[in-house]
Structure 1
């Protein structure tokens, strides 16, 4: 927390504690908003699964829902990405939502892989 300490310079001890607490609450609020956006993106992406894909992956999707309920967004992401990769690899809207989720969650490796998959699917469209 070096930044907070610099900002606290010149404050009384009680003021420093209050300032630090407010700073942490604001950061926590930012994280919660990001988690909510990621959760919404994941839930929306799930709705784009084809009915036959959803039926074939019923157990995995139940696990996905449990991960969302437990706020295990990374595990939920991996679960849905795996289903998409194996059973519905060419659905651009679904891949774009997963990409947005990876970006929101700062999952750089997944983001790069999804960018590659999306670009490979879009190339035939532009030629």
Structure 2
């Protein structure tokens, strides 16, 4: 069974909150999105024990449009390696001419549960500030 992080489970136990299945699923998705914000805003080499953790630094070029496939592959690789609660993840670029300074990536996947597959979808947006936002 997929669940929220250990610290989140401890907090729920401390509060003693009664949860419904729908609240549990919502908490799980919130937990995944919160972890992805951290993962996708980390840079490769920031963690000595896992040098592959974090996105590559794509600021070394002025031709950002040519990097879109590389960024999408890097996002997909980070999700595969560092978010075990997801499976069958696919990342694709979404062109939005009204937001020329942002790269928008649509992410599809499933919760990694043994039961019935639960599909999820969200957008990750690489802004002009170099930060990745995750919109559920």
TM-score (norm 2): 0.29
- Structure with bigger gyration radius: 1
| Structure ranking higher in strand proportion | 2
Name the one with the larger helix percent: 1
